[in-house]
Amino acid sequence: MPDLTHGDDAAAVNALRSAVMRLSRRLKHQRVDESLSPTEMSVLGTLARCGSATPGELARKEHVQPPSMTRIVALLEGKGLVRLEPHPEDRRQKVVTQTEQAETMLEESRRKRNAFLAGLVEGLDEDEWAKLRAAAPVLEKLAHL
């Protein structure tokens, strides 16, 4: 196991953190709908990846408190991006489902962000691009641990 607190391994962790944060900030500026907060966009992304969910499930996946998620869902519903439906097994709960409007907006956002990244990648040489392609699955794994 690498020593992630000292030496080259610690420096690599620090560089990775810094680079991911800077790139994330730059990508956040490539939004289609500026009226949505990053948290609202994240909730829509979670719904797109995982499918419909209760507000409680969304709160756990997004690492926010349930009352906060209730407010976020209400805002998204007011913008026509999600709808609340009866839970199929528990009448006390609702299920949050994204609308076609949300799907369209997310697809446009993905296209814009992918185009931005593609522009950055054009500045890499072939060896750097090969390393980045190889690192993508590892970064994806880290994002979901």
The span from the CA of 72 to the CA of 95, in Å, is 14
Model-level pTM? 0.75
Please give the torsion angle defined by the CA atoms of residues 6, 7, 12 and 13, in that order, rounded to the nearest 10 degrees.
Answer: 0
Over 90: is that where the pLDDT of 143 sits? Answer: no
Sequence-ordered alpha helix ranges (H) in the chain: 7-28, 38-50, 55-62, 66-78, 100-121, 126-143
pLDDT digits (tens, 9 = 90+) for 87-111: 888 888 899 999 999 999 999 999 9
Over 80: is that where the pLDDT of 31 sits? Answer: no
Token pair 């196991």 is at which residue? 1
pLDDT of residue 2: 67
Residue 63 corresponds to which tokens in the numbers above?
């690492």
| pLDDT band per the 50, 70, 90 thresholds, residue 3 | low
The span from the CA of 119 to the CA of 85, in Å, is 41
pLDDT digits (tens, 9 = 90+) for 60-93: 999 999 999 999 999 999 999 999 998 888 888 8
